Amino acid sequence: MGKDKIKTAARREQVKQLIARGLSISEMAKVLNVSTHTIYADIRTLKNQIKKILTKKPIEKFLLEFTASYDTIGRELWKLHRNSQNEKIKAKALDSLISIMEKKSKILTELGVLDKAAEKIDSEIIVKWKEK
């Protein structure tokens, strides 16, 4: 990779970070000492890169994998709650756990995953009930 490509890639990484911080196009241009046209071009390129990733992996699969990380965080919060002697820490761990589970539920609901799971459970209950 040539020096220009390395510079461009590094700048685009900085653009991502500045977007996350909420800077405007003109603010990003000033911080990075480039034109607003360059920032627009970088953002367009970043969007295209994201589109390529999402066409290779459906958004539903991506979000399911993403929500799996919530499970890891949840386990750590439960450990913190179980092992702490400090009641404030225990309460904060539970509050954080509830918040994370709500966020995960929202994502799964928007994907229709929870509805499908509920339908599957309902149909299994009906089958078992009919067998009796």
38 with 29: CB under 8 angstroms? Answer: yes
**% of the chain residues with pLDDT over 70:** 73
Contact 42, 11 (CB under 8 A): yes
CB 29 within 8 A of CB 35: yes
pLDDT at residue number 21 = 76
| Domain layout of the chain by residue ranges | 3-56, 59-131
Give the per-residue pLDDT at 86.
Answer: 93
Give the angle subtended at the CA of 70 by the CAs of 77 and 102, to the nearest 5°: 90
pTM (global) more than 0.85? no
Name the DSSP class of 109.
H
Quote the tokens at residue 3: 């020096």
Q: What's the whole-number mean pLDDT along residues 32-51?
A: 90
Give the closest residue to 81 by CA, choosing from 70, 99, 93, 73.
Answer: 93
Question: What is the pLDDT confidence band of residue 99, given thresholds at 50, 70 and 90?
Answer: confident
Q: If one looks up domain 3-56 in CATH, what number appears?
A: 1.10.10
The reported pLDDT for the residue numbered 54 is 62
Using CA atoms, how far apart are residues 48 and 119, in angstroms rounded to an integer? 37
Q: Give the mean pLDDT of the chain.
A: 81
> What H or E segment, with its residue span, contains residue 23?
none
The pLDDT confidence band at residue 33, using thresholds 50, 70 and 90, is very high
pLDDT at 102 over 80: yes
Find the mean pLDDT for residues 98-120.
73
Provide mean pLDDT across the span 102-114: 74
Tell me the C-alpha to C-alpha distance, in Å, between residue 14 and each of 20, 38, 114. 10, 13, 37
